[in-house]
Structure 1
């Protein structure tokens, strides 16, 4: 073997060291040079319209100042571990317009976080807007006359949503947290943005492992569309947990809500609120485009919605209004629910209106494998007079039908559900069931739940006794998290 002369070796090592130093300097420069203008805290400012493909990276923090629109034909990619904050003063929000794509694909170990720009300990409901996605899937109202709620009309498409493509693809949302959203943008009613709002989003879009916490309005709301979803978490919301409107027909499996029983909305908070639209009729599909059809007819399975194991909250407490129903189904909706458990609402199932009751009678609405526990009034018939009127007893007879495996459990018998001792712990919940839980068996996957989208598990509710799909990516104490 030839030996390298000592002087030559020293020169080679010195050159290598110089090259290494130069590479490190380049990396350091790249790390400290922001990708755009920054605020006083060094967060990269996002504002106005994003009109070219852009990637947000975990090495930077971002702040949404005012409504930020990702425009048609543009893809916004977000790296795992990235933190995007919403500005309170300027009411930041992120809106993915029709024809745009968002690729927010975090991981279990490195979720993507949308949160308040406020310091730990000072964050609150509605600190910023929220995440809004508009697609081109069908809705049941005239397309160009129907605009997004909350005054989201200043973007290039003027707040329009919906279309004729049920398989439309708006991208992917996976392992994402959305915290302290829901700011009211105007003084008008229904002007708040939800945590995650899906406007006419198609089934080509992926929604999986999403947590919405401390939202000032609904945690999740679907306005029409066909998008499916799994593994959703609604934590300490203000208004409704899962709200469906305007002809939404997607499928959802594995969803959990944990409420703070002290906080509810002036409109009366519900676990499910479902409408076709206001007032819900006519629903003929004619003579004008999208006249009430398709009916709102999503299918949910394996949902757990918890308020309290104590006395159900009655009246206004620390929030702006009262709790109402675990499920408020009204205005000609045809929503179906399977294999789910609801605990601690003043009311359980409120079927509202004769058109909604008609959807029960024609088997469009299906409820099976459902347990209503710790309710003051488990079953209620509401707002039904004249032709087609029905009673509480009528709804009870339908709910208790043969083969449905539905049940009403009193507070005295709540222990039969085998809930975890930390089930209602607001900052560190554990929803895994005990080995004696009656919910571990008895799931019903008939009718609409026979669809291949649904995993045919044996248990009812979002959890069994061993598979905690919340681990690693959720945060139940975002108020005290430093980002």
Structure 2
């Protein structure tokens, strides 16, 4: 069986090259079987920069991102967006829309949102925009005119969970039994409106570019939440670039399977995990940043920078979750040892890789966390030791003694933490103390006007590798 798995791994380049025979009209038909990908950071998707972390010396968030949306005054709504959108529809940027209830883009329709449009989510109806399989959202703002999804409450009274969020559903592969699942978040599955998954790796659900999503995120019940932006089996034909999620009541970004790639993502002051991967997600990410608010954490669980699972029940199911990440910066809730005791106890790991998740993680910076890197469960660790996962050239800093590197689970793959630390050392990773972390970035812990660019002489200014 191990030899078979190796053969499938070598044969798969984008995760769809395995095949099986099935009956069709009495004849044998060939249907692709999703398999694990073997992509690396050498892929042409990645810009080959020399620095580690999301920013060098230039702030690519300037002009379009908003780090203090609580104080922003938006104009009153003048139109309503509700119900089902079943034909191609283009919004009017001169109007301010009230998003009311669950709004479905379906029947193959395309919703086009012009640059500069403001859409305010209604709290009472848990307003949520759902782009169903086969339909598209074309939300392409500009740096000067970003598209804004925000709370309909007045400045000063907004909070995480004021409305639902954005859910995009596609036909790319996942590892859900049968290949098709129903997205979480209370989505009505009549007419398969909540369905996601298939065999089209390059499925196209449209564009999200220069988009801000503020105060979303509703937890209906444990493990059934609406995130800031949810990607359900979204394919590589979809463009995701320059997207900010702020003050989200759950995860800022969560991927359930799929292959979609993304650059320039920002997560600010969310409640649960900043970046969450599940069910065989195999996309690529570069230039992503997150900042945690010490007083905002998930009281029903734990709040992590990265949380990644393959499958909740079958840890080695295929395709394996295997995000390929470079140049990520996640700033935890602990600005210094002196404030550690005041940080919400539910804040935990910079990275939590578990339940068989694989990964390629390089050239990234994780500072200000209680706990550092946790590799949990046998299958997760085995992927590091057999080389199908790689963690390389990253910087970690955390505060709790003996919790900077953790091996956990009922069957951990590493017999001791020292073995995992040895692995990390041989792969060019650096584990530093508070003094070292303070010399990396210009002003990363400021909650309303952060600066994530590199300080002069920063250790993160060089050493990135793309292999």
TM-score bracket relative to the smaller structure = 0.7 to 0.9
Q: Which residue number corresponds to residue 384 of structure 2?
A: 360
CA 1:274 to 1:54, structure 2 compared with 1: closer, same or farther past 3 Å?
same
CA drift at 1:316 = 8.4
C-alpha contact 1:316 1:322 (8 A) present in aligned 2:
no
Q: 1:349 aligns with which of 357, 368, 373?
A: 373
Q: How does 1:363-442 map to 2 (within 5 A)?
A: 363-376=387-400, 377-385=403-411, 388=413, 390-401=415-426, 404-417=427-440, 419-420=441-442, 422-442=443-463
Q: CA deviation at 1:145?
A: 6.0
| Structure with bigger gyration radius | 1
Q: How does 1:73-84 map to 2 (within 5 A)?
A: 73-84=108-119
- Alignment TM-score, normalising by the size of structure 2: 0.80
Q: Is the 8 A contact 1:312 1:375 kept in 2?
A: no
What does 1:469-480 correspond to in 2, within 5 Å?
A: none
* Aligned ranges 1:20-39 → 2 under 5 Å: none
In structure 2, relative to structure 1, the CA distance for the partners of 1:262 and 1:305 (3 Å cut) is same
| Residues 306, 312 of structure 1: alpha-carbon distance in 2 compared, 3 angstrom cutoff | farther
- Counterpart for residue 24 of structure 1: none
The answer as to 2:312 corresponding to 1:278 is yes
How is 1:270-349 mapped onto 2 (pairs within 5 angstroms)?
A: 270-281=304-315, 283=316, 292-307=317-332, 308-311=334-337, 322-349=346-373
Task: Show the 5 A alignment for 1:127-276.
Answer: 127-143=162-178, 146-184=181-219, 186=220, 188-266=221-299, 267-276=301-310
Tell me the equivalent position of 1:18.
none
Alpha carbon RMSD of aligned pairs, Å? Answer: 1.9
CA contact (8 A) 2:267 2:274 kept: yes
Give the whole-Å Cα distance in 1 for the aligned partners of 2:92 and 2:324.
Answer: 36
Contact 1:384–1:390 under 8 Å retained in 2: no
For 1:93 and 1:315, locate their aligned partners in 2 and report how far apart those are by CA, in whole Å.
Answer: 36
Separation in 2 of the partners of 1:82 and 1:173?
13
Q: Secondary structure at the match of 2:363?
A: strand
Corresponding residue of 1:445:
466
Cα distance in 2 for partners of 1:391, 1:280 equals: 24
Deviation at 1:63, TM superposition (A): 1.2
Q: SS where residue 156 of structure 1 aligns?
A: helix
Distance 1:423 1:153, change over 3 A: same
Change (3 A) 1:139 1:409: same
The structure-2 alpha-carbon separation of the partners of 1:95 and 1:316, relative to structure 1 and needing over 3 Å to count, comes to: farther
TM-score (norm 1): 0.78
Q: How many residues align?
A: 389
1:90 aligns with 2:125: yes
In structure 2, the CA distance between the partners of 1:442 and 1:271, relative to structure 1 (3 Å rule), is same
Q: Is the 1:264–1:316 Cα contact (8 Å) retained in structure 2?
A: no
Separation (CA, whole Å) in 2 of partners of 1:165 and 1:112: 28
Runs (4+) off by over 4 Å: 312-318
Q: Which runs of 5+ in 1 are unaligned?
A: 1-40, 284-291, 447-483
Q: Relative to 1, partners in 2 of residues 1:66 and 1:155: Cα closer, same or farther, differing over 3 Å?
A: farther
Bigger relative contact order (CA 8 A; separation at least 6): 2
From the two aligned structures, give the one with the greater strand fraction.
2
**Would the alpha carbon gap of residues 317 and 309 (structure 1) be closer, same or farther in structure 2, given more than 3 Å must change?**
closer
Distance, in Å, in 1 between the alignment partners of 2:141 and 2:193 is 30
Q: Label 1:61 to 1:406 Cα distance change in 2 as closer, same or farther (>3 A).
A: same
1:280–1:348 Cα change, 3 Å: farther
CA distance in 2, matches of 1:194, 1:110: 24
Secondary structure, counterpart of 1:59 in structure 2: coil
